[in-house]
Chain A
Amino acid sequence: MIEDEDIAILLNDLFDIYGYDFTRYSKASLKRRIIRLCALDKIPSYAELRYRVRTDETYFKRFVEEITVNVTEMFRDPSFYKSLREDILPVLGTKPFIRIWHAGCSTGEEVYSMAILLKEANLLRKSLLYATDLNPSVLEKVRKGIFPLNQMKQYSESYIASGGIHDFSMYYTAHYGQAKFDKELAEKIIISTHNLVSDSSFNEFDLILCRNVLIYFDKELQDRVLKLFDESLGTLGYLALGTKETLKFSAVQSKFRQLNREKIWKKII
């Protein structure tokens, strides 16, 4: 049994030794992830866990990768992607150059979905997609653009539901149970580590996507991150959140207007 105090001490260690700050993450989820990791790795006690995280940097990396949630999929919530196609991309298309930031992109399924949308709108060549996450190991997967082949049937259905009219398999080559996505898509993706907790704004964007990341943060950290997004958006830029996330009750709420039923906001000042 791991007590709340134990977790607090562990989080302090992480900050002191490695500079990662998880203290403003949602406690319930964090605790569940830590207990799950102990069961997975057969770690018998809290003391043992703390010792390994403190002394073994390889294990620390695994720890960070496992306590953060890296579950994602392509074209998740097809109606959201449909709205990107129909409402957002035509507006972005009037710009000479399009900058998009996927904040907390995990293994990159959403980034590749976006690249496909841009390609189909004939905008990919003048776009750059910045994909950032705090885990270097998941970013390696974004770079490769290789996803499990057994997911493709579902992704293809979501792609069609999002308004896609092509054969989804034209975007990847199947190889030994993996689907490797077109190089053309990856060429426009810029990959970098970025920690939403501690790092600052690094560019000005036309569209920021951060879906199902804020749910893991407490209110205070959510506010900080939303401010960071506000600072990183140009006037009339767009911010897209997960289906259960909102700008309501946040400090930046008054600067944004929600577009439609999808969780997409436009910066109005």
Chain B
Amino acid sequence: MEENHLKNSCRALLIGGSAGSLQVLFNLFPAIKPDFTFAVIIVLHRRNSGDSALSELLSTKTLAHTLEAEDKDPILPGKFYLAPADYHLLIEKNGTFSLDYSEKVNFSRPSIDVTFESAAEIYGPSLVGMLLSGANEDGTKGLLTIKKMGGKTVVQNPETAQMPFMPQHAISHHAADYIYNIIEMADFINNLR
């Protein structure tokens, strides 16, 4: 039992969001205890500007520094990473990021599906995927892949989302293990091991 628990301990938490998700992160992050032992990887649909103001903004809300993921960066536990604007973010088997400037997926680059699917393959059951507010179908496929590979999925309760379409789309496609509001999400993250 103990061994099983260890094997499936969370190595990465992925958070995907689109329109209306930034406010969720601003409320969620201050509630996360800083002693977490997994990497937090955030994929947000954002404007195609190269500046990293968003990661600085997120840093002010978290106790840990939010880094914009760079090509071939090692993924370290206890850190927040943000997918850079206008690149897809992929995870390599050796625990590093790689970036990809291929076609948009779901009209988006970065696409949540792309990162979620890539991570599901690497982390399997040691992965949690979280999908927030948005007005796009992105994320559903990725959550389904995470589930298929044994990971857990959390979707923001659409009633609490500024843009309910994206979380509702995931729920309608049976991609959600848990449907939570922000306080429940923080609780869930703080109890992740």
- The finding on whether chains A and B are genuine partners in a shared complex, rather than unrelated, reads yes
User: Which of A28-36, A143-151, A198-206 lies at the interface with chain B?
Assistant: A28-36
Contact between chains at A26 and B70 (CB < 8 Å): no
Query: In the complex where A79-B50, A215-B71, A246-B70 touch, is A28 in contact with B101 (Cβ < 8 A)?
Result: no
User: Which of B35-43, B86-94, B160-168, B178-186 lies at the interface with chain A?
Assistant: B86-94
Q: Is B56 an interface residue (CB 8 A)?
A: no
Which of chain A's residues have a CB closer than 8 A to the CB of B159? none
A69 to B105, CA, bound (A): 14
Q: Is A9 an interface residue (CB 8 A)?
A: no
A165 to B93, CA, bound (A): 47
Interface residue tally for chain B (C-beta within 8 Å): 20
Contact between chains at A244 and B70 (CB < 8 Å): yes
Q: Is A171 an interface residue (CB 8 A)?
A: no
- Partner pick for A32 among B84, B99, B118, CB 8 A cutoff: B118
Q: Is A257 an interface residue (CB 8 A)?
A: no
Query: In the complex where A28-B92, A32-B90 touch, is A71 in contact with B102 (Cβ < 8 A)?
Result: yes
- Partner pick for A219 among B72, B90, B103, CB 8 A cutoff: B72
Query: In the complex where A79-B50, A215-B71, A245-B71 touch, is A26 in contact with B103 (Cβ < 8 A)?
Result: no
Which of chain B's residues have a CB closer than 8 A to the CB of A79? 50
- Counting contact residues on chain A (CB < 8 A from B), the size range is 20 to 34
Q: Is B55 an interface residue (CB 8 A)?
A: no
Q: Is B98 an interface residue (CB 8 A)?
A: yes
**Interface of B (DSSP majority class):** loop
* Binary flags per residue of A227-263, CB closer than 8 Å to B gives 1, else 0: 0000000000000001111100000000000000000
Query: In the complex where A77-B50, A79-B50 touch, is A28 in contact with B71 (Cβ < 8 A)?
Result: no
Query: In the complex where A79-B50, A219-B72, A245-B71 touch, is A71 in contact with B118 (Cβ < 8 A)?
Result: no
Which of chain A's residues have a CB closer than 8 A to the CB of B87? 215, 244
Which of chain A's residues have a CB closer than 8 A to the CB of B50? 77, 79, 243
Contact between chains at B101 and A212 (CB < 8 Å): yes
A29 to B93, CA, bound (A): 11
Say how far A88's CB is from chain B's closest CB, in angstroms. Answer: 18
Contact between chains at B98 and A69 (CB < 8 Å): no
- Partner pick for A244 among B84, B117, B118, CB 8 A cutoff: B84
Say how far A180's CB is from chain B's closest CB, in angstroms. Answer: 24
Q: Is A214 an interface residue (CB 8 A)?
A: yes
Contact between chains at A69 and B102 (CB < 8 Å): yes
| Given A216-B98, A242-B101, 6 new contacts (CB under 8 A) | A4-B93, A28-B122, A29-B100, A29-B102, A216-B100, A244-B84
Interface of B toward A, CB cutoff 8 Å: 50, 70-72, 84, 87, 90-93, 98-103, 114, 117-118, 122
Q: List 19 A-B contacts (CB under 8 A).
A: A4-B93, A26-B92, A26-B100, A27-B92, A28-B100, A29-B90, A29-B98, A29-B100, A32-B100, A33-B102, A69-B100, A69-B102, A214-B71, A215-B71, A215-B87, A215-B101, A216-B100, A222-B72, A243-B84
Interface of A toward B, CB cutoff 8 Å: 4, 26-29, 32-33, 69, 71, 77, 79, 212, 214-216, 218-219, 222, 242-246
The 10 lowest CB-CB distance pairs between A and B, nearest first, are: A28-B90, A26-B98, A69-B102, A215-B99, A212-B101, A29-B100, A215-B71, A28-B92, A243-B50, A244-B71
